[in-house]
Copies of this chain bind each other. A is one copy, B any other.
Amino acid sequence: MSDEVKVVLSEKDIPTAWYNIQADLPEPLPPPINPATKEPIGPEALAPIFPMALIQQEVSQEKWIDIPGEVIDIYRLWRPSPLYRARNLEKALDTPAEIYYKWEGVSPAGSHKPNTAIAQAYYNKAEGVKRLSTETGAGQWGSALSLATCLFGLECTVYMVRVSYDQKPYRKSMMHTWGAEVFPSPTDRTNAGRAVLAKDPDCLGSLGIAISEAVEDAATREDTKYSLGSVLNHVLLHQTVVGLEAKKQFEAIGKYPDVLIGCAGGGSNFAGFAFPFLADALTKGKKMTVTAVEPTACPTMTKGPKRYDFGDTAMTTPLLMMHTLGHTFIPPGIHAGGLRYHGMAPLVSHLIDLGFIEPVAYHQNPVFEAVIKFARTEGFILAPETAHAVKATIDAALEAKKAGQKRVIVFNNSGHGHFDLGSYDAYLAKQLEDFELPQSTIDEALKEVPVV
């Protein structure tokens, strides 16, 4: 590729099917179970909140699932996204490693999230749904679903975690621009929200609480379904367009990554990027290091055990087998709002335990230091969530330097930080905290995990 920095594909290269890693698992994923009966749930249990097409995708064992033409037509607005070689960062680190990133910030909402939002809006519209409710942490998911519902002519209500609502006012304006309504969660609109506010009127909110509110909203209205931005199998499935494109792009330059890195909050950007590569590890024994990065302030993968737990605070969801800090866990108000979820996608959790994914956790300040180094060498200003992947990438590149090895490292650059610039100013003014959770806080929250 001479001096070129981008590997660019044409719209003809947009994947026409999503990759379903369930087909390639050496051991099947433990099923979701009904908290009352402790038995695996059937599709009918999810029907009040999801359209049937998505429920089928959730449990499908088919390796490839066709992407509808209407979804591809909207993907065309930004897909295929470019794969970048971070030549300036390589030089700044003086590393023999090659550093690449898949740049998902080119979507209208500025992150990978529209990959599934568009698909979910499409399937809901196809089944006659008029309105979607959802939660959002940092606002990336709420923005993406607002965009998607707008393009498909659906209504949209977003419950936004209060700490992010206050930190990122422009995210709310973005959702308004696409016609959605947005409320800071916990709200007084739902039983779940009112219950939290009764205990703590100043509650910062959490994804677990906001999910409870959005699920309740959908379950209590005939015209409304619920939409989730991460964690579930069908969400991770839709995100595999990212990794499928990246594989084609590496093929185009005759390389294959040795190290793959993504940040993981609920797990969808990480999984969508990594799973198509992990297919080669699962089916062909291909060797690679796959790293999932989280904040020490919400150490789900590194400190949370794998247990059946609720996806939300109000215990309205089925029980999912996942790494969890407990559904009552409320993490500190770090700036990476999208990484503040108490659980981790069951598929990611499963692959960690099978030894295919290595989790790692970082403190907030070194993460910001890394992403500012990235901005000052590569130009782009990234989201605080993505910054965790940058930190791990820089560490991997420095490790390669120490070992004198020419490794190929790639991270999923899941979104820009244009709505997070207050955090950047806070870092530069040395006002960011490095949260270290005492083990007792985690132990306390874990007591609430049900015994199955």
Contacts and interface: CB of A to CB of B under 8 A. Distances in A.
Interface of A: 3-6, 8, 10-12, 73-74, 76-78, 84, 88, 106-110, 147, 150-151, 169-170, 172-174, 176-179, 372, 375-381, 416, 418-419, 421-422, 424-425, 428
Count identical subunits in the complex. 2
4 tightest A-B CB contacts, nearest first = A108-B379, A173-B421, A418-B418, A170-B421
A196 B177 CA distance: 37
A250 B364 CA distance: 47
Contact of A381 (B12, B174, B377, B421): B174
A419 to B, nearest CB: 7
Contacts of A151: 88, 376-377, 379
B424 A380 contact: no
A376 to B, nearest CB: 5
B177 A428 contact: yes
A150 B428 contact: no
Nearest to A375: B177
Most buried by B among A4, A169, A418, A422: A418
A150 B379 CA distance: 9
Given A4-B10, A4-B12, A8-B10, 18 more contacts: A4-B11, A78-B379, A88-B151, A106-B106, A108-B375, A109-B379, A150-B376, A151-B376, A169-B422, A170-B422, A172-B425, A174-B418, A174-B424, A176-B424, A177-B381, A177-B428, A179-B376, A418-B419
A424 B377 CA distance: 32
Contacts of A176: 424-425, 428
Contacts of A76: 3-6
26 contacts: A3-B76, A4-B11, A4-B12, A5-B11, A8-B8, A77-B378, A77-B380, A107-B379, A108-B378, A108-B381, A110-B418, A150-B376, A151-B377, A151-B379, A169-B422, A170-B421, A173-B421, A174-B418, A174-B424, A176-B424, A176-B425, A177-B372, A177-B428, A178-B376, A416-B418, A418-B419
Nearest to A76: B5
Given A88-B151, A108-B379, A178-B376, A170 B8 contact: no
Contacts of A377: 151
Contact of A424 (B150, B173, B379): B173
A375 to B, nearest CB: 5
Contacts of A422: 169-170, 173
A377 B108 CA distance: 11
Contacts of A5: 11, 76-77
A88 B151 CA distance: 9
B375 A178 contact: yes
A357 to B, nearest CB: 31
Contacts of A74: 379
A106 B81 CA distance: 11
A419 B379 CA distance: 17
A88 B76 CA distance: 12
